[in-house]
Structure 1
Amino acid sequence: MKVLGQFLLFHALICAASHVQGSVIIKGDLAPEGSMQFMVSVQNKNGHVCGGFLISEDFVVTAAHCDIGLKHVILGGHNWKNSNAKKIEISNQCKYKNYSDVGNGSDIMLLKLANKAPMGQNIKTIPLAKKNTNLSVNQECSVAGWGKTVSTGGLADDLRVVNVSIIDHNDCQQSWGRLPPNVICAGGKYTDKGFCQGDSGGPLVCNGKAVGIVSFNKNNNCTYPDVPNVYTDIREYVDWIKYITIVNSCPL
């Protein structure tokens, strides 16, 4: 019964994340001007839904649970409302074949852009971590996004970033009671820094490479929670990502 209770609590917490728009960076700072030019605001007709990051001229990586009527992306500026930022329509969405919900993992999606992003001073790609990339406990990485800075606040216009440390996987699993496969834990537990409800799709960046994708955290608790933040582990999906970007379409 205890195990069942833990699973039901876990399921309720993570499912709530898919219904919250925007991104939440807690105890972070404004991103330095000219940094993180790979960051993308993923939007529907109502505006900002999730974060994302540019990996090629015409592909953006985000979380699969961000599929909430997506229409376009905004890139090329720390303030996504800036008139100089570039808006590009989304032509296709590719979710990993095993994805069903965040509780079962594989929370990753590629967005095919209708037009190539104009690479230059304000728009750049970020390299992905390789399959054999090692992460060490307490290694310092970073996560960024637009949005709230407290649980009850409104979305912010300017990109914010915070440093977080990698947490031991066994520690993370004990804290949550259950974890989906292929995830990384960083920030949250043991600190007052990290992301919170709705900061989905943005990258966990370690040594200049995208290692994880913001997936879920404890429901609506930005004070900060007693469980780690959880990211999809990009290293487990690099072959899939490479295949899609080469064939330029979603696999059947």
Structure 2
Amino acid sequence: MKALGQFLLFHALFCAASHVQGSVIINGELAPEGSMQFMVSVQNKNGHVCGGFLICEDFVVTAAHCDSGLNHVILGGHNWKNSNVKKIQISNQYKHKKYSDVQYGYDIMLLKLAENATMGENIKTIPLAENDMNLSVNQECSVAGWGKTVSTGGLADDLRVVNVSIIDHNDCQQSWGGLPPNVICAGGKYTVKGFCQGDSGGPLVCNGKAVGIVSFNKGDNCKYPDVPNVYTDIREYVDWINNITKSTECLM
């Protein structure tokens, strides 16, 4: 309880992932053309709010804390402002029933699209990690998003990606003073690479599969070698996702 209390205090003081729009990749690079066609810009009437990723023709995964008047998604382009991207309305949102705040975990949400996305050269799905998929400490994965490249910068238009390494869960827990359930830690501590404020909802991709969802980090400071980045562990929600989508096609 003491460790959890320390984490809750730390979170209240420094972690504002649920209150900042946009997405931020630190010390990454432009995503190569033709890659990561599963990436989605989740938007409200004011524009980009969070990242997300397409898991089947009519469902997108993002973070629960991204729920901020969402009404549509943008698919099919590394630059979501291009005229050739696809805009699809959101018909329903499925936030995990146990979610209340990132500090308590369960930071996952499914978006049901009003029409099926047309699969093709610029739009593809990404398979989800199986619930028994193993991750090893120091395994290299990647995270991507649109937006700032430094803490105080403005949002960018082009998708950026950075490689990050899996961090030992006990190490992560000790660094934060406690962790919510069902999370993965990668990037941030021991490096200058990772996500920053608002890069929420995007996938942590390992071995070509979506394993995690960007959840939270240390407040507004993107130069954060002292604590790891924290992701929702998708492997713990495979059955939940399957029950909502009613299709195993979203899990392949």
The TM-score range, normalised by the shorter chain, is: over 0.9
Aligned to 2:182: 182
SS of the aligned residue for 1:148 comes to coil
> How far 1:178 sits from its partner (Å)?
1.0
**Aligned pair in 2 of structure 1 residues 211, 2: CA closer, same or farther (>3 Å)?**
closer
Matches within 5 A, 1:80-159: 80-159=80-159
Contact 2:218 2:224 in 1 (8 A): no
Aligned equivalents of 2:59 and 2:80: distance in 1? Answer: 18
- The residue type paired with residue 32 of structure 1 is P
> How far 1:218 sits from its partner (Å)?
0.1
1:245 and 2:245 equivalent? yes
1:11 and 2:12 equivalent? yes
- Deviation per residue, 1:48-91 (Å, 9 max, x gap): 00000000000000000000000100000000000000000000
Aligned equivalents of 2:153 and 2:17: distance in 1? Answer: 17
Aligned equivalents of 2:103 and 2:178: distance in 1? Answer: 9
Equivalences, count: 246
Aligned to 2:62: 62
Aligned to 1:163: 163
Contact 1:218 1:225 in 2 (8 A): no
Contact 1:10 1:178 in 2 (8 A): no
- Deviation per residue, 1:12-65 (Å, 9 max, x gap): 333x21110000000000000000000000000000000000000000000000
- The residue type paired with residue 57 of structure 1 is E
- The residue type paired with residue 24 of structure 1 is V
SS of the aligned residue for 2:136 comes to coil
Aligned to 2:250: none
Aligned equivalents of 1:238 and 1:6: distance in 2? Answer: 27
Aligned equivalents of 2:75 and 2:7: distance in 1? Answer: 39
> How far 1:243 sits from its partner (Å)?
1.0
> How far 1:9 sits from its partner (Å)?
1.8
Aligned equivalents of 2:163 and 2:205: distance in 1? Answer: 9
> How far 1:97 sits from its partner (Å)?
1.2
**Aligned pair in 2 of structure 1 residues 13, 131: CA closer, same or farther (>3 Å)?**
same
SS of the aligned residue for 1:33 comes to coil
SS of the aligned residue for 2:171 comes to helix
Aligned equivalents of 2:211 and 2:2: distance in 1? Answer: 33
> How far 1:5 sits from its partner (Å)?
4.6
Aligned to 1:42: 42
For structure 1, list consecutive stretches of 5 or more residues without a partner in the other structure.
248-252
Aligned equivalents of 1:179 and 1:202: distance in 2? Answer: 20
SS of the aligned residue for 1:70 comes to coil
**Aligned pair in 2 of structure 1 residues 6, 143: CA closer, same or farther (>3 Å)?**
closer
TM-score, structure 1 as length reference: 0.95
Contact 1:136 1:166 in 2 (8 A): yes
Aligned equivalents of 1:37 and 1:12: distance in 2? Answer: 36
> How far 1:10 sits from its partner (Å)?
2.3
**Aligned pair in 2 of structure 1 residues 176, 157: CA closer, same or farther (>3 Å)?**
same
TM-score, structure 2 as length reference: 0.95
Contact 1:172 1:227 in 2 (8 A): yes
Aligned to 1:250: none
State the identity as a percent.
83
For structure 2, list consecutive stretches of 5 or more residues without a partner in the other structure.
248-252
